[in-house]
Structure 1
Amino acid sequence: MKLYPIETGNFKLDGGAMFGVVPKTIWNKTNPADENNLIDIAARCLLIEDGNKLILIDTGMGNKQSEKFFGYYLLWGSHSMDKSLAKYGFHRDDVTDVFMTHLHFDHCGGSVQWNKDKTGYEPAFKNAKFWSNENHWEWATKPNVREKASFLSENILPMQKSGQLHFINRPEGDYLAQSELGFGIFFADGHTEKQMLPQIQYKDKTIVFCADLLATAGHIPVPYVMGYDTRPLLTMPEKEKFLNAAAENNHYLFLEHDAHNEIITVQKTEKGVRMKERFTCDEILT
């Protein structure tokens, strides 16, 4: 097995929205804001090469939305899906499986693209199976008012129409030891219904793809919950359980949205779980 970080592009989000009720005087120390109160955000995906499978976890925003849409998120940097895949000798047609932690636009937008004449949409990975779970799919395709702006039909429905959509067989509890794709999955409901966090055994390490349960290293304290979470009082015990397990088992936490910290470990302290070490992807995945 080999793992590769796939940087699909950076953007900006409102720091207050990212930290909810936490005062700016506190979160600004770890996630400094610009003059417009915006903080740096990454869309760092993960590619798993395992035998004849090439599995992509999340796909970023993609590039099919309007200039007005992207203007809200102030894209920056030179990363892209295709350049990142090419860096490791791959093309999007090589991808066999696309695993989506959840269907918010910044996690699955790159799964669908315009067709050639721009009259409609098609899967951006023509040879891949797309993986979600039934509970989350139902939640995303019949969205509540709060999340409606994050669940865009053009990002979601073409996967089903193509016949490439598949569902993970979900367990009764919140942890699946081994999924159809060969890795474990931690299910969390605080951010959105049945978000899926892959847990990958890689060499002598456990790599956990944190998605939106732990957006950045600055979000480690349990009460530091994003304003985007639909059930913040549920996020907190989920995050506490997740971080305690990460500290006890020395998990390596792959941060999808932290533009400046790629992989971290955590430890228990008198103040709760806190950062232990930080690493680049090259240090851990090569």
Structure 2
Amino acid sequence: MILHTIETGLFKLDGGAMFGVVPKSIWQKTNPADANNMCTWAMRCLLVEEGNRLILIDTGIGNKLGEKMLSHLYLHGDDTLEKSLAAKGFSTDDITDVFLTHLHFDHVGGAIMRQGDQLVPAFKNAAYWSNEKHWDWAVHPNVREKPSFLSENILPLQESGQLKFIETRQQTEFLPDFNVRFAFGHTDAMMLPQLKYKGHTVVYAADLLPSTGHIPLPYVMAYDMFPLQTLKEKKEFLEEAAAGEYVLYLEHDALNECCTVQQTEKGIKLKNIFKLSDL
């Protein structure tokens, strides 16, 4: 197995929304905000080479958002999904599988592109992987979460015939050395890839742990549908990660690509920060 970091650009979200009930005077020490209270976040994907499979985990926000939504998200940076794939020697046509942790616009937006007046899969040769529980949640969204589930990102996956479902069962095996964990606090049935890589356990943390700034247990996003469930899941996961010395691959941390955590007298704390290429 070979893993590649795929950067797809940066965007901004409100710092208060990203840290929930935690006061700005505390969270701004690790995630400083601009004059509009906005913090910068990455949309970091992961490319997995395994045998004859080339698996892209999440796709970033894509390039088809309307002006109104773009005005709220402040996209910036030089990285794009296509440029990052090309830097690794690949194109979108080489991708055999697109693994979607969940169907929020900043994770699935790059899965679909505009072709003339049509919306078509950006990866024409790939199977797109979700799960039936999350799919149903996304296509019948509640009012609060509806703005994150854009039909233009979701329905074309099914219409193309390229959509496949993973069984919603904790520790489902997707491929040898590639298991799937499930989390239900941020959104229903979010999938977290857990990989065996160079003697390490690497977990793509998605929105269970957006950044190193979210390691303290009370730091739960206001975007989470079930914050107490997130609190429980994060506690159990971080304790397991500390005991197992897991490498946590951070999708949204603009500065830190990977980290490990450790158990201390004051709870779980950040241990080391590094790049995936350092492994």
Superposition TM-score, scaled by structure 2 size: 0.98
- Give the aligned partner of residue 85 of structure 1: 85
- State the Cα RMSD in Å: 1.0
Q: Match for residue 63 of structure 1?
A: 63
Q: Cα distance, 1:182 vs. partner? A: 5.2
Correspondence for 1:146: 144
Structure 1: which 5+ runs fail to align?
none
Corresponding position: 1:157 with 2:155: yes
Give the structure with the higher percent strand. Answer: 2
SS of equivalent residue, structure 1 residue 170:
coil
SS in structure 2 of the partner of residue 76 of structure 1: coil
Match in the other structure for 1:253: 248
- Which residue in 1 is equivalent to 2:94? 94
Within a 5 Å distance, the mapping from 1:1-286 to structure 2 comes to 1-115=1-115, 117=116, 119-171=117-169, 175-180=170-175, 183-284=178-279
Structure 2 CA distance, aligned partners of 1:182 and 1:26? 38
> Is the CA contact (8 Å cut-off) linking 2:177 and 2:196 kept in structure 1?
no
Is 2:186–2:230's contact at 8 Å kept on the other side of the alignment?
yes
Q: Partner amino acid for 2:66?
A: S
2-structure distance, mates of 1:253, 1:156: 27
Q: Sequence identity, in percent?
A: 58
After superposing on structure 2, the runs of 4+ consecutive aligned residues of structure 1 that deviate more than 6 Å are none
Compared with structure 1, are the counterparts of its residues 182 and 126 closer, same or farther at alpha carbon in structure 2 (3 Å cutoff)? farther
Letter aligned with residue 50 of structure 2: D
Cα distance in 2 for partners of 1:134, 1:261 equals 32
Go from structure 1 to structure 2 and tell me whether the alpha carbon gap of 1:197 and 1:216 turns closer, same or farther (over 3 Å shift): same
Contact 2:19–2:222 (CA<8 Å) still a contact in 1?
yes
> Residue 8 of structure 1 aligns to a residue in which SS?
strand
8 Å CA contact 1:168, 1:180 repeated in 2? no
* Worse-matched range after superposition: 32-41 or 14-23: 32-41
How far apart, CA to CA, are the structure 2 residues paired with 1:262 and 1:218?
Answer: 13
Can you give the 5+ residue segments of structure 2 that lack an aligned partner in the other structure? none
Please give the TM-score of this superposition, normalised by the length of structure 1.
0.96
Q: Deviations over 1:101-152 (max 9, x none)?
A: 000000000000001x2x1200000000000000000000000011100000
Whole-angstrom distance in 1 between the partners of 2:77 and 2:124: 27
